[in-house]
Structure 1
Amino acid sequence: MNADRKRPVDVALDILTVLLLGLILLPIIWVFIASIRPDADIMSRSPFPSQVTFDHFREIFARADFMIALRNSLIVGGAVAVCTIVIAVPAAYSLSRFTYRGRDFIGFLILATQMLPAVAVLVPLVVIIRSLGLANTLTALTFTHLALGLPIAVWMLKGYIDAVPRELEEAAVIDGSSQLGAMIRITLPLIRPAVIAVGTFAFVLSWGEFLLALALITSAEVKTLPLALQTLFDPYSFSWGVVMAGGVVIAAPAVLLFLLFRNQLVGGLTSGGIKG
Structure 2
Amino acid sequence: MNGETAIRSIVLDALTILVLGLVLLPIIWVFVASMRPDADIMTRSLIPTRVTFDHFANIFARADFLAALRNSLLVGAVVAICTVLIAIPAAYSLSRFAYFGRDAIGFLILATQMLPAVAVLVPIVVIIRALGLANTLTALVLTHLALGLPIAVWMLKGYIDAVPRELEEASIIDGSSQIGAMFRITLPLIRPAVVAVGTFAFVLSWGEFILALALITSAEVKTLPLALQTLFDPYSFSWGVVMAGGVVIAMPTVILFLLFRNQLVGGLTAGGIKG
Q: Which amino acid aligns with 1:231?
A: T
| Aligned-pair CA distance for 1:49 | 0.8
- 1:269 Cα deviation (Å)? 8.5
The SS at the match of 1:59 is helix
Residue deviations 1:83-113 (CA, integer Å, cap 9, x gap): 0000000000000000011111111111111
Does the CA-based 8 Å contact 1:197-1:268 persist in structure 2? Answer: no
* 2:199 is aligned with 1:189: no
Match of 1:108 in 2: 107
Distance 1:247 1:268, change over 3 A: farther
Q: TM-score, normalised by structure 1?
A: 0.95
Q: Secondary structure at the match of 2:114?
A: coil
AA in 2 matched with 1:250: I
Output the TM-score relative to the length of structure 2.
Answer: 0.96
1:213 alignment counterpart: 212
CA distance in 1, matches of 2:270, 2:141: 29
Distance in 2 of aligned mates of 1:133 and 1:23: 46
Stretches of structure 1 that go unaligned for 5 or more consecutive residues are none
* Pairwise CA distance, 1:5: 2.5
> Aligned with 2:227: secondary structure?
helix
Q: Structure 2 matches for 1:96-245, cutoff 5 A?
A: 96-245=95-244
Could you tell me how far apart the structure 2 residues matched to 1:187 and 1:263 are?
Answer: 19
Equivalent residue of 1:114, what SS?
A: helix
Q: Number of residues paired by the alignment?
A: 271
- The whole-number CA distance in structure 1 between the counterparts of 2:123 and 2:174 is 50
Q: Distance in 1 between matches of 2:220 and 2:114?
A: 34
Letter in 1 for 2:209: F
8 Å contact kept, 1:31–1:247: yes
User: 1:201-240: CA deviations, max 9, x gaps?
Assistant: 0000100000110000000000000000000000111100
**Structure 2 unaligned spans of 5+:** none
Distance in 1 between residues matched to 2:269 and 2:152, nearest whole Å: 14
Shift of 1:25: 0.6
Structure 2 residue 249 is the aligned partner of structure 1 residue 250: yes
Report whether the alignment pairs 1:75 with 2:57: no
**Structure 1 residue 12 displacement after superposition:** 2.1
Question: SS where residue 47 of structure 1 aligns?
Answer: coil
Partner Cα distance (2:7, 2:241) in 1 = 46
Give, in whole Å, the separation in 2 of the partners of 1:232 and 1:271: 45
Residue 29 (structure 1) aligns with: 28
Task: Say which is worse superposed, 37-46 or 84-93, in terms of deviation.
Answer: 37-46
CA distance 1:224–1:90, shift in 2 (3 Å)? same
Q: CA deviation at 1:11?
A: 2.2
* Aligned twin of 1:262: 261
Q: Residue 189 of structure 2 contacts residue 268 of structure 2 at CA under 8 Å; is this kept in 1?
A: no
Q: Tell me if structure 2 keeps the 8 A contact 1:195–1:268.
A: no
% identity of equivalent residues? 82
Aligned Cα RMSD in Å? 1.5
Q: Secondary structure of the equivalent of 1:204?
A: helix
Distance between the aligned counterparts of 1:175 and 1:198, measured in 2? Answer: 31
Task: Check whether the contact 2:190–2:268 (CA below 8 A) recurs between aligned residues.
Answer: no
Please give the alpha-carbon distance, in whole angstroms, between the structure 1 residues aligned to 2:43 and 2:194: 45
1:45-78: per-residue Cα shift (whole Å, max 9, x none)?
Answer: 1111111000000000000000000000011000
Bigger mean CA offset, 115-124 vs 251-260: 115-124
Q: Distance in 2 between matches of 1:215 and 1:13?
A: 44
